[in-house]
Amino acid sequence: MAKYPQLDDCQGVWKIKDVGDAVKLGRWRRAGSRAVVSGTVTIDYITMSSQGNGTDFGDVSSDISGRVGLGSHTRGFFAGGNGQIDVIEFITFVTTGDVTDFGNLAAGVNLPSGLSNATRGIVGGGRAPSMTNVIGYVTMSTAGNASDFGDLTVARASMPGLANTTRGFFAGGFTPSEQNVIDFITIATTGNAQDFGDMFESQYTSGPACSSTRGLTMGCLNTSITGTCDKITFASTGKSIRFGDLSTIHMGTGGASNSVKGFQLGGQQANGDATNIIDSMVIAHGGTSLDFGDLTVAVGGKTAASSGEHGGLTDGY
């Protein structure tokens, strides 16, 4: 995919035809691009370029937590869930409304991880009810059941999924002991995951955000609930580094991003209560997250989110 100059990246030369194709195919970054989040039955959305509160988008098919979210340029997906649910369902970002059934995972899983590029959606790990190492994938433009992709190096759940257009990463997790492992896969192929490096510290249940070059894990559970954020640089193997903090101490957020900002939607506070906080962080800068707005409802620590502009889709623009 060509690299297209954007408002925050105006270097280079591009072909008008490429821009036209990008617009027609729905992969041109849009000022109104949305992130969606669901922790219960309600789906909220935010417009990522405009600070403000969440707005009701529609409903998922059942009132459960523990799903994972992932997104193409046009569709947002929710998969799995508490009770070992195998359902995959989707929304179309530009059109509010309830979910549509897409297909099924190979087996029901709670708290799986998810990531995507523009073509494939990947769901890995989770509790089935034992920890599973299974990675499955769907072609997001075509409804159907998930196919086998390969295995994680470590069977685990509750790990954020990160991606650029080429590689997908599974960071940390719960086995049921906290893990520091980072696995990676090549999204366009199939095969087993491979060790990439280690997290700054063992952790799980943080929310993901990614640009084309960096992945953030934001707000984790590491013995206790923390608001810490770590950074992985996709081009180099090695340890993640501590990169910032959420605006308040909470974890299990729904993580979404465009290629500039990461958003953490809802989550569980240190006292156990669900929150409706929306945080944002500039992925290139780190530091302390800024308050972006509030969701219409508080959602707990097993929340799923997705967007149509994340690092798995944007190839550097």
Partner 1 sequence: MANKIIKYNLTAEGTIPTYIEDGGYFLKANSNASPQDNDMIGATVDGSSETGLGALTNAAAIKNYLDTYTSEWTDGVDENGDDIAFNQTNAANMIWAKKV
Chain residues in the site for partner 1 (CB under 8 A)? 130-131, 133, 151-156, 175-177, 179, 181, 192-198, 272
Assign 232 to helix, strand or coil. Answer: strand
For partner 1, the closer of residues 12 and 176 by Cβ is 176
- 269's tokens: 């506070």
User: Whole-number minimum distance, CB 193 to partner 1, in Å?
Assistant: 8
For partner 1, the closer of residues 48 and 157 by Cβ is 157
Q: For the chain, give me the number of helices (H) and strands (E)?
A: 2, 28
Backbone phi, then psi, for 314, in 5-degree steps? Answer: -100, -15
For partner 1, the closer of residues 39 and 71 by Cβ is 39
For partner 1, the closer of residues 123 and 181 by Cβ is 181
CA distance 97 to 176: 37
Residues 6+ apart with CB under 8 A from 85: 62, 64, 66, 67, 108, 109, 110
- 115's tokens: 């990531």
For partner 1, the closer of residues 197 and 308 by Cβ is 197
User: Whole-number minimum distance, CB 183 to partner 1, in Å?
Assistant: 9
User: Whole-number minimum distance, CB 308 to partner 1, in Å?
Assistant: 32
Assign 12 to helix, strand or coil. Answer: coil
Residue 218 C-beta-side C-alpha neighbours within 13 Å: 36
CA distance 58 to 76: 12
For partner 1, the closer of residues 71 and 267 by Cβ is 267
- 222's tokens: 């590491």
User: Whole-number minimum distance, CB 239 to partner 1, in Å?
Assistant: 9
User: Whole-number minimum distance, CB 136 to partner 1, in Å?
Assistant: 15
User: Whole-number minimum distance, CB 131 to partner 1, in Å?
Assistant: 7
Please identify which residue in the block is written with the tokens 């910032």. Answer: 244
- 195's tokens: 């060790």
E strand or H helix that includes residue 17? helix 16-24
User: Whole-number minimum distance, CB 135 to partner 1, in Å?
Assistant: 11
For partner 1, the closer of residues 27 and 67 by Cβ is 67
